Amino acid sequence: MTGFSPDITERLARARADLRMGVPVVLDGGAVMLAAETLDADRLAHLRTLGGAPVLAITSWRAQTLKARAYDGDLARIALPLDVGLSWVRSVADPADDLRAPMKGPLRSIRDGNADLHRAAIALTKAARLLPAALVLAIDDAHGFAKAYDLTLIPGAAALDLTLSPLRPVISARLPLEVSEAGRLHIFRPDDGAEEHYAVEIGQPDRSQPVLSRLHSACFTGDLLGSLKCDCGPQLRGALAQMGATGAGVLLYLNQEGRGIGLANKMRAYSLQDQGFDTVEANHRLGFEDDERDFRIGAEILKKMGFSAVRLLTNNPAKVARMESCGIAVVERVPLKVGENSHNHGYLATKAAKSGHLL
Ligand SMILES: Nc1nc2c(ncn2[C@@H]2O[C@H](COP(=O)(O)OP(=O)(O)OP(=O)(O)O)[C@@H](O)[C@H]2O)c(=O)[nH]1
Ligand SMILES: [Zn+2]
């Protein structure tokens, strides 16, 4: 019982908002962190006055591109040299200028300190949809430090805890659509203050039978702008059309833009793709996994709506496996091959070759 005080989930939501503004966050367990992307000169100067040995925590993907050592598996910790400023931090975190100015180093990786706290710091920057890089300084008295500077304090372990925030149905209303007049839009809101997700229900699907279903990940560029770089827009409309034609279905619109890295990072990935990297390489150069989505959200919404079995519209076998592992039976994979063009041909081929998508 915390009464008026924010619980851990709510503190994490605050921490994400703080990091997006450039405000430091304190990790219980002994560290203060700042997101590399939103760091400014003033706060970097302040960090310097605190003494100690700040490190820039990056993922091993990013370290690989920078040819820096990653001693902790998925994590690399780079010592912050004494004589560097904001532009050094930015250039380690952001691959935009890698090709133009490849030398950031030599970068000295460290082995000491609490690796889990550094991991938590990176997880928080990802959750804030920023570049996955955090400046971290060990401190002795986390509680006192947070109080002195009026900073959000979170248990470091909470950022590493992958439990799914509960999702609550907010409202649903009738929504006649071009594909079917019997449409209904449901809104689901996570307790942790993150993005809402939507379910479009077509007709009145029988809850005791497998429902024709699509888990669609948000793609602002494809869904709304008609981008030719991917196949999302035609897949969205194609899935709805099939549901309309058969009279029943449920399309989940999951706000996990850019396979979970956010629109700004997706545009960074597009910019790298213009330099010749493919969709998977671009994610890795930025420091991300190739897919950062959490499909438990989709499974949770289906269960909340009373569905336990689906005929899943997808070309992605990993999606099928993740639904099954979350307790949703996928009785059939229904292929959804639409929207191939000369611009997205390479993208679709890369997904087939590297991500296991079926052509
Ligand atoms: N990071 C990144 N995300 C992309 C890129 N192109 C599209 N996306 C995002 O990828 C998501 C769509 O995922 P896809 O990999 O196309 O397809 P899928 O959902 O895995 O599989 P299907 O069910 O077959 O469509 C959307 O969130 C898009 O915003 C890209 O080049 N980089
Ligand atoms: Zn897309």
pLDDT digits (tens, 9 = 90+) for 240-254: 999 999 999 999 999
Domain 167-256+293-354 annotated CATH 3.40.50.10990: yes
- Residue ranges for the known binding site are 214-219, 230, 232, 235, 257-259, 279, 314, 319
Substitution candidate for ligand 1 out of 195, 219, 256, 284 with most atoms within 8 A of CB: 219
Q: Model confidence over 97-140: pLDDT tens digits? A: 888 876 677 899 999 888 999 999 999 999 999 999 999 999 99
Rounded CA-CA distance 163/203 in Å is 33
Question: Among 297, 69, 276, 79, which Cα is nearest to 197's?
Answer: 297
183: CA distance to ligand 2 center in Å? 24
- Residue ranges for the known binding site for GTP are 214-218, 235, 257-259, 279, 314, 319
- Which element (helix H / strand E) includes 171? strand 167-174
Rounded CA-CA distance 242/239 in Å is 5
User: What tokens appear for 246 in the block?
Assistant: 């058969």
Q: Model confidence over 260-298: pLDDT tens digits? A: 999 999 999 999 999 999 999 999 999 999 999 999 999
Kindly provide the ipTM of the predicted complex, given to two decimals: 0.97
291 is catalytic: yes
Q: How confident is residue 352, by pLDDT bands cut at 50, 70 and 90? A: confident
Please state the CATH superfamily assignment of the domain spanning residues 8-160 in this structure: DHBP synthase (3.90.870.10)
Mean per-residue pLDDT, 143-166: 88
Q: Please state the domain extents for the chain.
A: 8-160, 167-256+293-354
- Candidate list 11, 119, 129, 293, residue with the active-site label: 293
CB within 8 Å of 221: residues ≥ 6 apart:
227, 229, 230, 232, 266
62 is catalytic: no
As a whole-number percent, the residues of the chain with pLDDT over 70 amount to 99
